[in-house]
Amino acid sequence: MTTELISLKNQIQPHFLFNMLNNVKALIRKDPNMATEVIMKLSDFLRYQLYENNDDRTLLRSEINFISNFLKLEEIRRDNLTTRISCPAELEKKGIFLPPHLFTAFVENAIKHSLSAGAGDTFITIHFSEANQQLCFECENSKDPDSLFVQSKYSGLGLANAKRRLDLLYRNDYELSVSTTETLYSVKLTIPL
């Protein structure tokens, strides 16, 4: 079980890193200040990937910072993307520990589907909340009404891996729902604290 969890957790998307490095190269000439900001966010992103990712547990606050950096890097890469993350301050300060990258596949999926939303403005909204000793993660993103996206219960390799990881970590003690409309894709995950 441990080997499988490590394998599922450590799936880094190399094309993301290469794209960001190419963006930095272009920004160095065009906007050196923005290039510096991207390098700092990319540094934080990689630090989390390489160091905190090796622990069995990480702070919710660290996970939120990682997701925030990830989304900010995507916003820089894509002019038409708006992102928002919300988490009550008291929840973020609680010192909640959870497995690292628990939400990453869902965020990557939101990026992927919002990317296909054509030339118009796109968005990703993430919200964390707590109720009844459970942590709730909700992620919504725009999606192209003309896309040929066909949803199975847990479509895509990333979501299938996330589901398998949740099964290994929480057995039946979690709730995952995925829904889609013509213009919106939504994921809700509830896990015990």
- Tokens describing residue 172: 């039946």
pLDDT in tens, 142-168: 987 766 555 544 456 777 888 998 999
In this prediction, residue 5 has a pLDDT band, given cuts at 50, 70 and 90, of very low
What integer pLDDT is reported at residue 135 of this predicted model?
A: 97
Q: How far apart are CA 107 and CA 103, in angstroms?
A: 6
DSSP H/E element including 62: helix 60-77
pLDDT in tens, 48-81: 777 766 678 889 998 999 899 889 888 887 778 8
pLDDT in tens, 18-45: 777 877 887 888 888 888 888 888 888 7
Q: How far apart are CA 121 and CA 173, in angstroms?
A: 37
Q: Domains in the chain, please, with CATH?
A: 2-192 (3.30.565.10)
Q: How far apart are CA 191 and CA 175, in angstroms?
A: 7
The pLDDT > 70 percentage for the chain reads: 81
Measured distance between the N- and C-terminal CA atoms of the chain, rounded to whole angstroms: 21
